[in-house]
């Protein structure tokens, strides 16, 4: 049996091969070859349906980093199978559509390579059992989506959209990684299977809630939930097949997948319930409310996707209520929300992809997708119109389309959840159906906009770039298949329910599945239940509001454009850049003195602070060697000389006073019985003085410091503090002699090295390595000086070199 791991790798392999194949094969469109891959994968996965439906699951292991517990392990169960079939199935249709949609002049090899990269990454996300591996694929989807959004990279808006999508999804992904690491450190495992087994022991762990929030942040950003939804409308700059595939059926579902996957881990928490349900419903409302306002068909579809994703998200959230008390016959009813969510997920993938393809056909055909310029296309594009109608009515929740069934089940769920007496639902629970209902009304309105404003009404040929005409057959095949699916699912929903959703429910509620059958029989007609009245209400109010749209459209103008989340995002980006610029320019002044001041202030705070903090200020001068009068004389002369340099009026004075200090040091070396040092010091001091004097002629005039008095006093204060700390540290160190010097060893220099001068023996024998490198320092300095003086790059020469 071929393992699922191999299945994930096939698209990656294809992505690597496509550029080579593209060069070789020029006769046939490269997309035809690519098309084979998702078809094969789809068939392969479809073959698993019977065994998965009978309760089997498959675990495949490939060792990757076993020492860290990170292995490329994949798990095939009901939940991942649903997503796998959507990814490969819609993928095949999208590739078929893109063969006709994209021009031969486009860089097709890039397009299909990115698309295959994305497909492989997406399959990796849903089949990974190891959360770290899941994260790897998760970021790969972000990257390939980034590449696909900016496919037409010559356009500024494409690049902006891609950047926004990447920034938002990657920050979410990053927080998700933090959450995963927390889960790993709580449970000691990265495998879903093992985590689900042992997580009940860790509900009280202090990292449990932070891990949950971080993982949710990742899911919300990826699935375009409020307020992270803003990247999805901007991502509409991508080619339409990409929008149809990534931004309606696959990538945006990754967050939903994650929430469903983590429900058995975090689902029992009240925070999980309210966050997922609440954010889902808010997203649903905000998406549908904003969609009505859009004039661009793709933007409208983007907001409708946001809204539908919010709806599915809220259903997953509501289903987690069942986990609060564990299994009981009463709580099983709440799991049905997840069933409805999965059902709607499949439905959404079918009708939304079809709608995107329809919009692509319109855009391709007449050269615009602005609703204000469209109208009356129905007579010119009958097939496209039919598909658009099927898709829109399904999205609006009308029979005989699959959206009706899932919308009804959604209403059932929100009505059920109101009955629950936990999570303070008795006070807030009534809000849920109300928000859901209002959002559904707006959903109905924008669905009508798609159909009636685009296809019916007045045909405005003069405002179109090309006259309207029906699309080529090849372009219509994929949306037709999806449109047929929409209707087929309506008439035979239970096939889907029994074979796909029931096994997926077993993955979400493993403890419940052991006790009872989680399946429900979906029926199109279940009598005059409250949910049916809600749907009728949606239709009535929706029609009324749609007809009166131009009268109340003014409410959108109440909220100024600058108050949108988009402008907030832009403002944050802009302000961050401006402020970091300001901060950097504030402290990176370019003045050497300022940087030295920072360094000295840090020195003063750290060294002085440590001295005071550790109480090391302990002096003892009893052990000092006696001081000769001559020492006093030299020391005082040097101090006076040093201070006098500051006040020196001319260069010559300064140089000579520097010499006084140097020769003073040499005299001290004599007094302290260091003949070699005294010799070297006096020679070096002489040479340095000579050097200064040689440079005398070339060096600038010794000017008086013209700094302001304040700067000078700050400098003086810093200098005195540095000097004081230096002295205190030195005195404190001398107080604490810890052990004897090792120098007595070097006194054997005659026996060991045949040398009578101990200092020289150390330099050339015991520690000869130092001396060798010191010679190299001199050599480098010499070469440096030579280069500085001899080689002078003129500007003209530089240009010559660059040529």
Partner 1 sequence: METLITILAGVLVTVATYFLLSKSVIRVILGTAILSHAAHLMIMTMGGLKGGVVPLLDGEEQGPYVDALPQALILTSIVIGFAVTALSLVLAYRTYQETGTDNLDELRGNKHE
Query: Measuring CA to CA, which residue among 794, 660, 643, 665 is closest to residue 719?
Result: 643
CB closer to partner 1, 564 vs 680: 680
Counting contacts by CB under 8 A, is residue 741 touching partner 1?
yes
Counting contacts by CB under 8 A, is residue 435 touching partner 1?
no
How many beta carbons lie within 10 A of that of residue 137, not counting itself? 20
Counting contacts by CB under 8 A, is residue 680 touching partner 1?
yes
In angstroms, what is the minimal distance from the CB of 184 to partner 1? 44
The set of long-range contacts for 488-493, using a CB threshold of 8 Å and a minimum separation of 24, is 489/346, 489/347, 489/350, 489/402, 489/405, 490/399, 490/400, 490/401, 490/402, 490/404, 490/405, 490/524, 491/400, 493/343, 493/402, 493/405, 493/522, 493/524
CB closer to partner 1, 227 vs 675: 675
Looking at 28-36, 193-201, 512-520, 620-628, which segment touches partner 1 (CB under 8 A)? 620-628
Counting contacts by CB under 8 A, is residue 693 touching partner 1?
no
How many residues touch partner 1 under the rule CB under 8 A: the total is 97
Residue 74 backbone dihedrals phi, psi, to 5 degrees: -120, 155
Tokens of 585: 């320019």
Counting contacts by CB under 8 A, is residue 700 touching partner 1?
yes
Query: Measuring CA to CA, which residue among 18, 45, 17, 40 is closest to residue 29?
Result: 18
In angstroms, what is the minimal distance from the CB of 588 to partner 1? 7
CB closer to partner 1, 573 vs 780: 780
Q: What mask of x and - would describe binding to partner 1 in positions 274 to 313, judged by CB under 8 A? A: ----------------------------------------
Counting contacts by CB under 8 A, is residue 601 touching partner 1?
no
CB closer to partner 1, 557 vs 793: 793
Strand partners of residue 79: none
Counting contacts by CB under 8 A, is residue 419 touching partner 1?
no
In angstroms, what is the minimal distance from the CB of 582 to partner 1? 10
User: 131-149 and 156-187 are packed helices; what angle lies between their axes, rounded to 10 degrees?
Assistant: 180
Counting contacts by CB under 8 A, is residue 539 touching partner 1?
no
Looking at 103-111, 176-184, 363-371, 775-783, which segment touches partner 1 (CB under 8 A)? 775-783
User: Are the C-beta atoms of 20 and 87 separated by less than 8 Å?
Assistant: no
In angstroms, what is the minimal distance from the CB of 665 to partner 1? 5
In angstroms, what is the minimal distance from the CB of 608 to partner 1? 14
In angstroms, what is the minimal distance from the CB of 667 to partner 1? 11
Looking at 122-130, 154-162, 218-226, 776-784, which segment touches partner 1 (CB under 8 A)? 776-784
Out of 614, 789, 799, 802, which residue is the one contacting partner 1 (CB under 8 A)? Answer: 789
Tokens of 724: 């004081």
Out of 24, 27, 458, 703, which residue is the one contacting partner 1 (CB under 8 A)? Answer: 703
Distance CA 468, CA 456 (A): 13
Counting contacts by CB under 8 A, is residue 687 touching partner 1?
yes
Out of 676, 713, 752, 797, which residue is the one contacting partner 1 (CB under 8 A)? Answer: 676
Counting contacts by CB under 8 A, is residue 674 touching partner 1?
yes
Counting contacts by CB under 8 A, is residue 702 touching partner 1?
yes
In angstroms, what is the minimal distance from the CB of 571 to partner 1? 22
User: Are the C-beta atoms of 600 and 718 separated by less than 8 Å?
Assistant: yes
CA distance to 218, 293, 459, per residue, from 463 (Å): 43, 21, 9
Query: Measuring CA to CA, which residue among 19, 5, 13 is closest to residue 117?
Result: 13
CB closer to partner 1, 39 vs 674: 674
Largest Cα span, the chain? 117
Distance CA 385, CA 380 (A): 9
In angstroms, what is the minimal distance from the CB of 65 to partner 1? 45
Tokens of 321: 């209520």
Counting contacts by CB under 8 A, is residue 585 touching partner 1?
yes
Counting contacts by CB under 8 A, is residue 626 touching partner 1?
yes
What is the DSSP pairing of strand 58-65 with strand 70-76? antiparallel
CB closer to partner 1, 460 vs 719: 719
Dihedral over alpha carbons 692, 697, 700, 703 (to 10 degrees): 80
Sign of the dihedral defined by the CA atoms of residues 714, 720, 726, 729, in that order: negative
Counting contacts by CB under 8 A, is residue 781 touching partner 1?
yes
Residues 709-728 that bind partner 1 (CB under 8 A): 715-716, 718-720, 722-724, 726-727
């Amino acid at each position: 049996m071929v393992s699922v791991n191999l299945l994930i790798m096939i698209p990656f392999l294809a992505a690597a091969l496509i550029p080579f194949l593209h060069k070789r094969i020029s006769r046939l469109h490269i997309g035809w070859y690519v098309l084979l891959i998702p078809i094969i994968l789809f068939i392969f996965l479809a073959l698993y349906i019977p065994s998965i439906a009978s309760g089997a699951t498959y675990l495949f292991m490939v060792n990757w980093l076993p020492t860290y517990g990170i292995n490329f392990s994949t798990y095939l169960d009901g939940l991942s199978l649903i997503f796998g079939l959507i990814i490969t199935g819609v993928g095949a249709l999208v590739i078929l559509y893109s063969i006709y949609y994209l021009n031969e002049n486009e860089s097709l090899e890039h397009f299909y390579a990115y698309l295959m990269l994305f497909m492989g990454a997406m399959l990796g996300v849903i089949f990974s059992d190891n959360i770290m591996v899941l994260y790897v694929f998760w970021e790969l989807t972000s990257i390939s989506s980034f590449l696909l959004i900016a496919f037409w990279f010559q356009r500024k808006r494409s690049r902006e959209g891609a950047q926004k999508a990447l920034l938002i999804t990657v920050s979410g992904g990053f927080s998700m990684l933090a959450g995963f690491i927390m889960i790993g450190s709580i449970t000691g495992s990265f495998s879903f299977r093992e985590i689900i087994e042992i997580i009940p022991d860790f509900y009280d762990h202090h990292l449990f809630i932070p891990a949950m929030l971080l993982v949710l942040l990742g899911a919300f950003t990826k699935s375009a939930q409020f307020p992270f939804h803003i990247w999805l409308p901007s991502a509409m700059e991508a080619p339409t097949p990409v929008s149809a595939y990534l931004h309606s059926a696959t990538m945006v579902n990754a967050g939903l997948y994650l929430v469903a996957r983590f429900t058995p881990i975090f689902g029992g928490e009240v925070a999980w319930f309210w966050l997922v349900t609440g954010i889902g419903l808010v997203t649903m409302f905000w998406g549908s409310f904003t969609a009505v306002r859009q004039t661009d068909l793709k933007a409208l579809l983007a907001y409708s996707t946001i809204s539908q994703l919010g709806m599915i998200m809220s259903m997953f959230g509501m289903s987690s209520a069942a986990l609060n008390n564990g299994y009981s016959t009463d709580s099983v009813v709440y799991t049905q929300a997840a069933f409805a969510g999965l059902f709607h997920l499949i439905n959404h993938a079918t009708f939304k992809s079809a709608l995107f393809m329809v919009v692509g056909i319109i855009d391709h055909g007449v050269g615009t997708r602005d609703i204000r310029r469209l109208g009356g296309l129905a007579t010119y594009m009958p097939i496209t119109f039919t598909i658009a109608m099927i898709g829109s009515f399904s999205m609006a929740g009308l029979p005989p389309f699959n959206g009706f069934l899932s919308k009804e089940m959604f209403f059932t769920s929100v009505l059920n959840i109101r009955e629950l007496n936990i999570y303070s639902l008795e006070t807030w629970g009534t809000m849920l159906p109300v928000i859901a209902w209002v959002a559904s009304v707006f959903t109905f309105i924008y669905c009508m906009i798609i159909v009636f404003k685009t296809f019916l009404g007045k045909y405005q040929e003069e405002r179109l770039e090309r006259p309207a005409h029906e699309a080529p057959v090849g372009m219509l095949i994929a949306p037709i298949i999806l449109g047929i699916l929409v209707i087929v699912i309506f008439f035979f929903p239970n096939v889907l329910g029994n074979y796909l959703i029931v096994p997926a429910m077993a993955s979400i509620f493993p403890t419940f599945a052991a006790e009872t059958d989680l399946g429900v029989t979906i029926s199109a007609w279940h009598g005059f239940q409250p949910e049916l009245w809600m749907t009728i209400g949606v239709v009535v109010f929706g029609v009324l509001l749609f007809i009166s749209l131009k009268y109340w459209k003014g409410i959108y103008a109440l909220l100024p454009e600058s108050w949108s989340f988009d402008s907030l995002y832009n403002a944050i980006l802009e302000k961050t850049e401006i402020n970091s610029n300001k901060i950097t320019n504030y402290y990176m002044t370019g003045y050497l003195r300022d940087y030295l001041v920072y360094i000295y202030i840090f020195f003063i705070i750290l060294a002085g602070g440590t001295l005071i903090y550790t109480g090391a200020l302990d002096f003892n001068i009893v052990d000092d060697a006696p001081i000769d009068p001559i020492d006093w004389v030299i020391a005082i002369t040097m101090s006076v000389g040093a201070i006098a340099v500051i006040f020196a009026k001319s260069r010559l004075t300064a140089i000579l006073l520097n010499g006084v200090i140097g020769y003073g040091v040499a005299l001290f070396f004599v007094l302290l019985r260091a003949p070699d040092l005294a010799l070297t010091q006096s020679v070096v001091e002489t040479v340095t003085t000579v050097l200064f004097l040689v440079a005398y002629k070339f060096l600038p005039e010794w000017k008086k410091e013209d700094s302001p008095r304040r700067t000078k006093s700050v400098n003086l204060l810093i200098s005195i503090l540095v000097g004081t700390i230096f002295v205190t540290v030195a005195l404190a160190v001398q107080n604490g002699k810890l052990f004897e010097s090792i120098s007595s060893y070097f006194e054997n220099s005659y026996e060991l090295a045949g040398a009578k001068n101990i200092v020289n023996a150390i330099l050339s024998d015991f520690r000869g390595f130092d001396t060798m490198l010191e010679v190299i320092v001199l050599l480098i300095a010499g070469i440096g000086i030579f280069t500085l003086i001899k080689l002078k790059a003129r500007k003209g020469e530089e240009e010559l070199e660059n040529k």
